Amino acid sequence: MNTSIYVLTHKKFEVPFDKTYVPLQVGSASHDSLGYLTDDTGDNISVKNCYYSELTGVYWVWKNVTDKDIVGVCHYRRFLINDKDLVLTKSEIENLLSDYQILTSMSLDLNFSYYYGFGKNHAPEDLDITMEVIGELYPDFLPVFDKLVHENHTYFGNIMYCKKELFDEYCSFLFPIFERMHSRMDLDKYDDYHKRLYGFISEFILFAWCKYKGLKVKECKVGFIGEKAETVETKRTIDQYLKAHDVQGAKNYFLEVRKTRPDVLMEASDITRELRLCLQIISTCEFEQKTYGKIIAPIDLPFDEMISWVRALNKNVMSGHVQAGKNVSPVAIDIAKKLYCEV
């Protein structure tokens, strides 16, 4: 079969050896070429990338790819993987799609409803407008969407592999929603992160659409390749504050980052979990200063060694084999217990 999976990207990355994966630069109309296939040719919405994020690549595949039996979209850092944690090959994709109608990410089990979570990270009225438009365009779909939006599951990453006919059907369903929403909204009032509204909402729409259609879905593990540059920079800057013993500065900096990047601690961003460990170190230092008048945690160590220290602390706390010592204060132990041992 003629199969291509388009890897949506805005930066250079290590392209899988399998030629089934085709890099597609999104937002190309507003950025210099990376040397990949671009989303600003033919019928395209590349110039709207600031609102649509990776969906400008989805739109391009819908409108311009006509010679493929199977197509898919994934992210330059996120690929569907098999049980051996390897990127799915062409033959694996085609074999799976002989039994399933669509391959996508494992559904996320949230600790709250999607509606609540969206409202915590975005303007809740934007989701209300989405539902209003869905009711106008697809009244039969609205009850399904309304039910699921108040439950606690969603897909993530806008990752889907399927036959081209189904891909086209989904796109024909999806993009009219955002086209109608756009005239009712002023997305330019948002910062660059929140402005990419349609990219966020479409993750949940894919989940609800699959349920609505009753599709036979294969939920696959997602492999994360490399860290976001923003995450690396956040860790680097926190480390600089800690090396200067400016714990409050480190805390304030992170809170400012969180305002513009609410997803910064999510698994897709903090794939090594090191940023969460940085926050644990900040909290430990803060309470050590209040309790002892000094910092006991080894924040003067190189970053990797500091992270290894807190990982070892947490491991020992969870196994019950830890005691206070030179670099381990009762405060550090208590915080680790609260994070990892208390229900």
What confidence category does residue 85 fall into, taking pLDDT thresholds of 50, 70 and 90? confident
Give the total residue count for the chain: 343
pLDDT of residue 267: 65
**pTM summary value:** 0.77
pLDDT > 90 fraction of the chain, expressed in percent and rounded: 76
In tens, the pLDDT along 307-318 reads 999 999 999 888
Helices (H), 247-296: 247-260, 274-292
Element spanning 23, H or E: strand 21-25
Answer yes or no: is pLDDT of 325 > 90.
no
In tens, the pLDDT along 110-130 reads 889 999 999 988 899 999 999
Query: Could you tell me if 24 and 42 are in contact, meaning their C-beta atoms sit under 8 angstroms apart?
Result: no
Q: How is residue 87 annotated by DSSP?
A: B
In tens, the pLDDT along 200-244 reads 999 999 999 999 999 999 999 998 776 677 888 899 999 999 999
Answer yes or no: is pLDDT of 171 > 70.
yes
pLDDT higher at 276 or 320: 276
The full set of domains in the chain, from first to last, is 3-224 (3.90.550), 229-340 (no CATH)
pLDDT of residue 326: 81
Question: Mean pLDDT in the chain?
Answer: 92
Mean pLDDT of 81-101: 94
| Closest to 79 (Cα-Cα) out of 31, 171, 9, 164 | 9
Mean pLDDT of 61-73: 97
Answer yes or no: is pLDDT of 343 > 60.
no
Which one of 69-83, 132-146, 228-242, 256-270 scores highest in mean pLDDT?
Answer: 132-146
Cα separation values, 226 from 17, 55, 249, 270, 310, Å: 16, 22, 27, 10, 22
pLDDT of residue 68: 97
The two three-digit tokens of residue 193, written as one number = 């992160």
